[in-house]
Structure 1
Amino acid sequence: MAMNQSVTIGVAALLIGGVGGFIAGKSGGSDAAGDSASVERDAKFRREASAVHQDGTAPESRARSIKEALREPGQLARLQSLVDLYEGMSLEELAAAADSLDDLPMADRIMASILLFSRWGEADPQGALAYSETMGFGGMFARPTILRSWASVDPVNAAKYYAEHPNEFNGPGGRRGPGGEGGADLVAREWAKLDPDAAMAWANSLEGDDKGSAMISIVGEVAATDPAKAATMAATLTGDDQMRAYGEIAQKWAAEDFSAAESWIQTLSGEAKDRAMSEAVQVLARTDPDAAAAKLASISEGGARDRAVAILAGEMAQEDPAAAASWLGNQQTGDYGDAMRRIMTNWTAQDSAGALSFIEAQPVGEIRDSATQTYLWQNQDVEPSQAMSLAEAITDERNRDRTIGMTARRWMETDETAARAYVESSDLLSDRAKQRILDGRGGPGWGGRGRGR
C-alpha cells in the first residue's frame, strides 16, 4: 500500500487522538519478529527498502534520520520527508525510530509519531501494539492509530484482534478512546471504505455499545459517497442508533446536495426527522445562513432545533455579530446561552467595545449572563474593577464564582495585593470559593502530565 495513504490515516489519528498521546516513552524496541508472519513482513519491507537503496545508501532526496527530515523547510516538506523515511525502514528500524522520539521537541514528536505508528500499523500491527504497551500512558493514544492503520489494509484480522483485546483501546476507567471513538468504530470506518456490506455484517455480530457505534460509523462512511445506500442501511437500525445514523447521513448528504438531503429527510418522521433536519441545517448554515434560518421552521421545538439555532447564530456572527444577536433575540430556543456564547466569541474578537455595549444594554437573565461570561473569558484587556463589576452581575452562582475567580487571578498578575483584598472582602463569594481563588486552584489552563514510561 502506498505510504501516502498513511499520511491521511495519521492526520485523522491526530484529530481523534489528541496531541498529547503520541509521546513515545520506552527504553529498547519491541520483538517485532516473534513469529513467522512477522519475519516474512520484515523481509518484505527490507526488499522494498533495498529497491530504493540500490547502493546501500539513501538517495540525496531521502532524509537519513527523523531529525534530518524535520529540518526540511516547510511543514508539508517535512511530512513528505518523514513519509519517505518511514517507507524505506525495516521493522527493526521502525522500532529504533520509535525509541528516538523522546529526544524530539513536543510538536515535532507529535508529527513524527503519528506517521511512524501509521506506517508500523500497516507493516507489523502486532509488533507496533506490543511496543505501545511499553509506552506508559502515551500508549493509550498510539494504539488507536495502529488499529486504524491495520484495519485500512487488513480489516478482518484487525477486527479479530480487537474482539480478543477490546480493553487495549479503552481509556482510563473503561471509557472510550481519545476523541470519543472506540476500537470498533475505528475498524468499522476503515472496513467500510473497502467493503461496507462485509463491515456491516461484522458490526451485526458485535454486542452492546460496540454494535450500535460500529454500525453508525459504517453508515457515516458510506454516506460520504452513497448517501442513498447509507439511508437504506440506517433503516435497519433502531432507537437512538438509527437517529444518530440519520444525523450522520444528513450531514454528509447536505454538504453535497442540500435539496436531495431535504427530500430524503421529508420521508422521515418525528424525532428522527427533526434530528436529521437539524444536522442538515447546521451544514447549510456554513455557506448560506439566511437559507438555513428559513429552514428552522421545519424543525419542532426541542433539543434538535436548539442546536441548529446555536450553530446558525455562530455562523451569522462571523459576518455581523450585532445582527446575529438581534436575530437570536427573536428566536424561540431552550438554550440561549450556547447561542450567545458563540456570538460573543466572535463579537469580542471583532469589536470588544461593541460587545460590551450590548452586554450593558441587556436586562438581567440568561442572555446577559452568557454574554458577560464569554466576554470576560475572551477579553484579557478589561480593566480589573470594570471586569469585577460585570462578573458580579452574573446571576448563576456557579458561573459567577468561576468568572470572578478567573478575573481575580488575572488581576493578581498585575496587582496581587488589590486582587487579594477584593477576594477577601467579597460578600458574593463563599469562604470555600475565596480559598480556592487565593490558593490558585480551579482556574483555566492545561493540566500537566508526565511522559509515560
Structure 2
Amino acid sequence: MLPSASGTLWAGLTPVLASAGLAMLVGFGLGRVTAPPAAIEQKSDRVMPSSAKEAENQEPAWQTVETGVKTSTAADVAGAAAMGSPRQREKALEEVLAKASLEEVRKSLDWANALPDGPMKKAALEKILKRWGQLDGPGATAYASQVYAETGNPSLLREALSGWADKDPQAAVNQLAAMNLNDGLQQDIRRDLLEQWADLSPTAAAAYAAANRNPDSWRGLVGTVADEWSKRDPAAAANWAAALDAGRDKRAAIYTAISNWADADLNGAAAYVSGQPAGESRDTMAGTLARHIGQEDPASGLKWAAMVADPGSQERAIAGALIDLYRKDEAQARQLLQSSTISAQVQAAALSRMTNRGPWWR
C-alpha cells in the first residue's frame, strides 16, 4: 500500500467518483474514452430554494461551484488514465493535470493509489507526481522518496524531481545531490534534470556543469549540457565547450556540439570549424567532421582529417573518415589514404587502428 497523500480528505469524493466511474464504464461500452460532464453540476444548478428558511440551509453558491470543479477534475483524470493508447493517455493526463490545483492533485493521487496495478495506474501516478512536483517540489519529492524506499521503484521520484525542475532546476538538482541514492540512479536522474535545466537556461546549466565536471569522464555533465544547448544554439555551445580546461569530457562536449550542428547545418558547422585557431579544440572539431562526413564521402572526410595537427588525434580522425569504406572495400580505402598528404607514419598507424579487432577510436 502506497502512502496516502490526503487521508480521509478523499472520502467525501467517493460517491461522486463511483457515479463518474459508472458513467465512464457505460461510455467505454459505447466507444467513448472520456468521462461525461459531472452530473452533480447540472443538478445543483436546478435546485432553487422555496423559502428564505430553505435558502439559509442551502450550500453557498461558491462552495457548490468549487465542489463541481473538483469533481470534474477527478473525473477527467480518471477518463484520461483509462485511455487505451499510451501516447493518448499521457497527453490527456498532462492536459488535465496542467490545470489542477495542489488539493486536486492530492485527491487524484489517492484515487490513483486505489487502482489495481497496471498501465493505467502507472501512467496516472507518474503524471500526478510530475504535476505535484511543479506545484510543490519538496512535498512531492518527499512522498516519492518514501515510495522508493518501500518499493525500490524510482519512477515516481524521477517524475517528482522532473516536475520540480520545470519550475526550479537548481533546487531540484541540489535536492537530488542530498539524497542517499546509488551512484547509477543518481547519475541517471541528474542527467535528466540537467537536460531540462539546459533547455530552460543553458548558461546557468553550463555554469553548474563546469563547476561539477569530471574531466576523466567521456561524456559527463558538460557533455549533457553541450548536447542540449547545441540543439538550440550550436555556436554558443561549441564556444563554451572549447573554452573548458582540457579533459576527456571537454572533447566529448565538443564532439557532441559539432555533431549536432553538422546534422542540422553541415555548411554552417564546416565554416565555423574552418575559422577556429589551431589547437586541441580545433583538432577535435575537425576530427568530428572527418567522421561525420566520411561516412558518406570518405574522400572529403579525409580532407578534414588532414587538418588535425596532433598525430594521435589525426590517426583517429583518419580511421573515422575511412572505417566504413575500409570494411566494404579495403583496397579503395588504402588508395585514398596513400594519395593524401598525410605522413606515411600516421597513415600506417591509422591503418593499424582499422585492421585491429578493437574499436578504431581507442
Q: TM-score, normalised by structure 2?
A: 0.58
Distance, in Å, in 2 between the alignment partners of 1:97 and 1:335 is 59
Distance, in Å, in 2 between the alignment partners of 1:97 and 1:226 is 39
1:175 counterpart letter in structure 2: G
Distance, in Å, in 2 between the alignment partners of 1:219 and 1:152 is 19
Segments of structure 1 that go 5 or more residues without pairing to the other structure are 1-24, 32-50, 314-323, 340-453
Distance, in Å, in 2 between the alignment partners of 1:305 and 1:109 is 52
Do the aligned residues in 2 keep the contact of 1:101 with 1:113 (CA within 8 Å)? yes
How far off is 1:97 after superposition?
A: 3.9
How far off is 1:176 after superposition?
A: 4.8
Q: 1:79 aligns with which of 90, 99, 106?
A: 90
Do the aligned residues in 1 keep the contact of 2:259 with 2:292 (CA within 8 Å)? yes
2:301 counterpart of 1:295: yes
How far off is 1:248 after superposition?
A: 1.7
How far off is 1:309 after superposition?
A: 6.8
Distance, in Å, in 2 between the alignment partners of 1:202 and 1:81 is 34
Distance, in Å, in 1 between the alignment partners of 2:319 and 2:278 is 18
Do the aligned residues in 1 keep the contact of 2:129 with 2:140 (CA within 8 Å)? yes
Distance, in Å, in 1 between the alignment partners of 2:293 and 2:114 is 44
2:251 counterpart of 1:248: no
2:80 counterpart of 1:69: yes
Give the match for residue 448 of structure 1. none
1:19-168 to structure 2, matched below 5 A, reads 26-29=2-5, 54=65, 56-57=67-68, 64=75, 66-72=77-83, 74-98=85-109, 100=112, 103=115, 106-136=118-148, 137-163=151-177, 165=178, 167-168=179-180
Do the aligned residues in 2 keep the contact of 1:121 with 1:146 (CA within 8 Å)? yes
How far off is 1:258 after superposition?
A: 1.0
- Structure with more relative contact order (C-alpha pairs < 8 Å, separation 6 or more): 1
How far off is 1:207 after superposition?
A: 6.5
Give the match for residue 370 of structure 1. none
Tell me the matched-pair count. 273
Q: 2:204 aligns with which of 192, 198, 201?
A: 198
Distance of aligned partners of 1:60 and 1:228 in 2 relative to their CA distance in 1, 3 Å threshold:
same
Could you give the per-residue CA deviations for residues 280-333 of structure 1, whole angstroms, max 9, x where no partner exists?
Answer: 566668xxx5336752564467666667777x68xxxxxxxxxx9634796652
Do the aligned residues in 2 keep the contact of 1:133 with 1:139 (CA within 8 Å)? no
Distance, in Å, in 1 between the alignment partners of 2:321 and 2:75 is 51
Q: 1:175 aligns with which of 184, 194, 197?
A: 184
Distance of aligned partners of 1:27 and 1:194 in 2 relative to their CA distance in 1, 3 Å threshold:
closer
Give the aligned CA root-mean-square deviation in angstroms.
4.4
Distance of aligned partners of 1:56 and 1:309 in 2 relative to their CA distance in 1, 3 Å threshold:
farther
Distance, in Å, in 2 between the alignment partners of 1:220 and 1:71 is 36
Distance of aligned partners of 1:330 and 1:101 in 2 relative to their CA distance in 1, 3 Å threshold:
farther
2:228 counterpart of 1:217: no
Do the aligned residues in 2 keep the contact of 1:284 with 1:291 (CA within 8 Å)? yes
Segments of structure 2 that go 5 or more residues without pairing to the other structure are 8-61, 306-312, 334-350
1:253-272 to structure 2, matched below 5 A, reads 253-266=261-274, 267=276
1:68 counterpart letter in structure 2: G
Distance, in Å, in 2 between the alignment partners of 1:135 and 1:273 is 48
Distance, in Å, in 2 between the alignment partners of 1:251 and 1:102 is 47
Distance, in Å, in 2 between the alignment partners of 1:309 and 1:70 is 51
Could you give the per-residue CA deviations for residues 170-201 of structure 1, whole angstroms, max 9, x where no partner exists?
Answer: 43xx2354xx5352x44443333333333333
2:312 counterpart of 1:326: no
How far off is 1:223 after superposition?
A: 1.4
